[in-house]
Structure 1
Amino acid sequence: MPEIQSSESEESDRLSSILAGYLTQKDLAQALGVSERTIARWHHFREGPPRVEFGRKVFYRLESVSAWIASCERPEPRAGRTRRARLRAVDPSRVPVSTQRNNVGPLAGSGGSHN
């Protein structure tokens, strides 16, 4: 029986060497500190790292994950320089004015005239 176990371990070693540079969804989630559901959501919205699919099996290439992480890097804004929305003064000559009048009669109960 040692021959059977030996051939099984050789096959397992061969398969692991083929996938040596790849992570499973579970491994990636653990490495990034997020849930597997988050990884699936990223895929759904095309936000996460690229992936390789073999049937129902999903793998992430280590180099692609590293490149994706690098692409997420954003420089820190300078200290004391916050962006604020600028309010512009409106030129009254550029504001459209309706030329039609609202022809509404006097309000009910106001009497209209004082007799």
Structure 2
Amino acid sequence: MTDTLPAPAETNIFLGYIDEDEYCRQRGISVRTAQRDRQLRQSPPYTVVGQRVMYRIDSIRTWLLERERQVERKASAPRAGGRK
């Protein structure tokens, strides 16, 4: 019987996660801002492994979708008369 080694992607336990630096780079914020957001409970869910903060990509996307705003536009009132 021969044992086949799993593909490298299958052995990466952090597949689907990004670290804090990459999260900040993609959002365009500083690490300090990300730290403050976590303290204020305004950040996406995260995991701490050792001293490393990791974000699951799917959780970030869900978090962003939950903050999506719909623009409500009211019909403007018709103008009385025309411009002169």
Match of 1:38 in 2: 33
Separation (CA, whole Å) in 2 of partners of 1:19 and 1:79: 46
Structure 2 runs not aligned, ≥5 long = 1-7, 77-84
Runs (4 or more) in structure 1 with deviation over 6 Å come to none
Query: In the superposition, relative to structure 1, how do residues 33 and 80 fare at CA in structure 2: closer, same or farther (>3 Å)?
Result: farther
Which of structures 1 and 2 has the bigger CA Rg? 1
Same amino acid, percent of matched pairs: 29
Q: TM-score, normalised by structure 1?
A: 0.53
Higher RCO structure (Cα 8 Å, ≥6 apart): 2
Give the AA of the match of 2:66: S
Shift of 1:79: 4.4
Give the AA of the match of 1:37: R
Q: Aligned-pair RMSD on alpha carbons?
A: 2.0
Q: TM-score, normalised by structure 2?
A: 0.71
Structure 1 runs not aligned, ≥5 long = 1-12, 82-115
The count of aligned residue pairs is 68
> Structure 1 residue 75 and structure 2 residue 65: aligned?
no
> Structure 1 residue 62 and structure 2 residue 57: aligned?
yes
Match of 1:52 in 2: 47
